[in-house]
Amino acid sequence: MTAVSTGRGFDDTQNAEVPNICSFDIMNLPKDFVPRAYSYFKALRTDSPIHQNSDGSYILTRYDDLVAVYRNPAVWSSDKKVEFEPKFGPSSLFEHHTTSLVFNDPPDHTRIRKLFQTAFTRKALTALIPRIHNLVDGYLDRLEDQGKSEIVADFSFRLPVEVVCDMLGVPSKDRALIRDWALLILGALEPVLTEKQFKDGCDAVDAFKAYLRDRIRELRTERDPGREGEILTALVAAEEDGEKLTEIELLHQCIFLLNAGHETSTNMLSHGVYEMLRHPDQSRKLRNHPTLIESAVEEILRYQAPIQINNRRATQNTELSGAHIPAGSTVHLMIGAANRDPNQFPDPEKFEISRRPNRHLSFGLGIHICAGNTLARMEGEIAFSKLFRRFPNLRMEAPMQLSNRVRFREITELHVSI
């Protein structure tokens, strides 16, 4: 995976030269797009808010347009069979990404989500709080002992992957496999896919399915399967109106949970540490006013959306802000752009942890709002509270490294010391 080195103040949209977006095309992005994403978003939102690409799809960058799409699933479909068939063909990647909860419409989406939600009850999530506290304390103990850390590997990746693997009963020895498979499967969602990325993604889905089949077999043969907070047991047993998940549905919802459950939280944690270090006035504010932790997490999510792009397909001829969108068209919902729309967020380029209201779209909206949003917020609140209270002099030791991935805003390296 390639990365770009970025230092303090990267992508300063208030002072940066405005990019030319006349020929902007999501299928052939400019080489500087990732480090300058917010400058491009600002230019698109201002000059071409419903922007057509060479393949006939549209880029949406205004907050109100994204909300309109999210709130009307009858017109804007999440089903990706039409879109993914030419991209993936009859492959394991096609099976996974068209079975996952996130890429389904009602009634399948409604049925699967009801079963899936049994894993995210208040009781199940509350049971995880002591574990999250213990994990964070352990990471910070190591940071204190060593005096320095690479935050992504040692902190922001480890916490959510440990939590979600606990929830699915994945043994510690297998957790590196989960990370590798997840990156390959989610990497296949990038707008442009190489042959190697396609093959590696398919192999990862097959390996993941085989692994989960073994785990499910173990659960079904145990006399007393499952522990408090273990989601795999809940999903195996879940039933709504006499209907259970099929084996294929069960496998792919588990893969989706493992992938989504740590990828977005990892990005949130990495960017949160980075932005708080870039804005020492805000980390001081959090230390002086610990009750701001909830709004601080929301601002981190707004300012650096962990997922930058969602997609929908028009099921009929329709209009958005007066623009005609033909049936069958794909729209790319640029979350990072909408989260900095000045019509919704005053002074949107300013990172301000006390910002209220803060109705960002980083978890989506409507029927497809992220099922794990409460867990992600819980992880962020515990992690940031402990980190910045315990290490008030935490500082960056080198420019952070930002992945060239487009759909996910991912920091690959962030070296810090205490």
> Distances from the Cα of 272 to the Cαs of 79, 293, 383, 392, in angstroms?
32, 12, 10, 15
Identity of the highest mean pLDDT range in 222-226, 232-236, 250-254: 250-254
Average pLDDT over residues 31-58: 95
Question: What confidence category does residue 10 fall into, taking pLDDT thresholds of 50, 70 and 90?
Answer: low
Beta bridge partners of 194: none
Output the six-digit token pair for 120: 């995210």
Q: Which of the four pLDDT bands, split at 50, 70 and 90, describes residue 230?
A: low
Tell whether the model's pLDDT for residue 278 goes beyond 50: yes
* Residue 21 token pair: 């977006």
- Segment (H or E) for 50: strand 50-52
Q: What are phi and psi of 194, to 5 degrees?
A: -85, 165
pTM surpassing 0.75? Answer: yes
Would you state the pLDDT for residue 8?
39
Q: For the sheet with 3-6, list strands across it.
A: 3-6, 400-403, 411-413
Instruction: Classify 210 as helix, strand or coil.
Output: helix
What pLDDT is attached to residue 11? Answer: 57
**Beta-bridge partners for 4:** 402
For 364, the token pair is 């989506």
Catalytic-labelled residue, pool 37, 165, 204, 260 = 260
> What is d(CA 359, CA 357) in angstroms, rounded to the nearest whole number?
6
Q: What angle do CA 245, 249, 254 make, to 5 degrees?
A: 105
For residue 218, what pLDDT band results from cuts at 50, 70 and 90?
A: confident
The encoded tokens of residue 391 equal 């290490």
| Active-site residue, selected from the candidate residues 83, 249, 263, 275 | 263
As a whole number, mean pLDDT of residues 8-32 equals 74
HSE, CB side, 13 Å, CA atoms: give it for residue 234: 20
Cα dist from 413 to 2, 50, 200, 396, whole Å: 12, 34, 23, 11
* pLDDT over 50 (residue 1): no
* 116-133 pLDDT tens trace: 776 677 777 888 899 999
> Is residue 223 over pLDDT 50?
no
Q: Give the HSE-up count for residue 306: Cα atoms under 13 Å, Cβ half-sphere.
A: 26
Closest-CA residue to 198 (of 97, 111, 318): 97
Residue 48 pLDDT > 60, yes or no?
yes
For position 287, what pLDDT does the model report?
A: 96
Residue tagged active-site, from 234, 370, 376, 383: 370
* pLDDT value of position 7: 42
- Name the band, by pLDDT with cuts 50, 70 and 90, for residue 222: low
Residue 249 falls in the annotated catalytic set: no
The catalytically annotated residue of 265, 283, 295, 385 is 265
SS3 249: helix
What's domain 3-417's superfamily in CATH?
A: Cytochrome P450 (1.10.630.10)
Predicted pLDDT at 112: 83
What is the average per-residue pLDDT within 171-180?
80
Instruction: Tell me what pLDDT residue 3 has.
Output: 55
Give the helix/strand (H/E) hosting 150. Answer: strand 148-150
pLDDT of residue 9: 41
Half-sphere exposure of 356 (CA within 13 A, CB side): 6
227 pLDDT higher than 60: no
Q: What is the pLDDT of residues 317-354, one digit of tens each?
A: 999 999 999 999 999 999 999 999 999 999 999 999 99
Q: What angle do CA 335, 338, 340 make, to 5 degrees?
A: 115
Most confident stretch, 118-132, 168-182, 198-212, 338-352: 338-352
Per-residue pLDDT averaged across 385-402, rounded?
Answer: 96
Average pLDDT, the chain: 89
More confident residue, 229 or 329: 329
| Catalytic annotation present for 379 | yes
Q: Which residue has the higher pLDDT, 13 or 180?
A: 180
Assess whether pLDDT exceeds 90 at residue 192: no
- The residue among 342, 259, 261 whose CA lies nearest residue 302 is 342
Q: What are phi and psi of 27, to 5 degrees?
A: -85, -10
Please tell me which residue in 95, 298, 299, 379 is annotated as part of the active site: 379
Sequence-separated (6 or more) residues with CB below 8 Å from residue 25: 53, 54
Answer for the pair 286, 314: CB distance below 8 angstroms, yes or no. Answer: no
> Is the pLDDT confidence value at 228 over 50?
no
Q: Is 298 a catalytic residue?
A: no
The reported pLDDT for the residue numbered 252 is: 86
- Rounded to a whole number, what is the largest CA-CA distance in the chain? 65
Q: How far apart are CA 227 and CA 21, in angstroms?
A: 53
Quote the strand ranges of 253-380, DSSP E.
309-314, 318-320, 323-325, 330-334
For residues 150-167, give the mean pLDDT.
Answer: 91
Joined tokens for residue 209: 């399915």
pLDDT value for 182: 82
Q: What is the CA radius of gyration of the chain?
A: 21
H-run or E-run covering 148: strand 148-150
Say whether 92 is catalytic.
no
Task: Give the Cα separation of 258 and 209 in Å (integer).
Answer: 12
| pLDDT higher at 256 or 234 | 256
Mean pLDDT of 175-188: 82
Whose tokens are 């992957």? That residue is: 161
Q: Which single residue is written with the structure tokens 């496998």?
A: 251
Whether the pLDDT of residue 141 is over 50: the answer is yes
Contact (Cβ atoms closer than 8 angstroms) between residue 333 and residue 310? yes
Going by pLDDT thresholds of 50, 70 and 90, the confidence category of residue 39 is very high
User: For residues 197 and 12, which has the higher predicted lDDT (pLDDT)?
Assistant: 197
DSSP H stretches of helix in 304-395: 335-338, 373-390
What pLDDT is stored for residue 204 in this prediction?
93
Active-site residue 265, yes or no?
yes
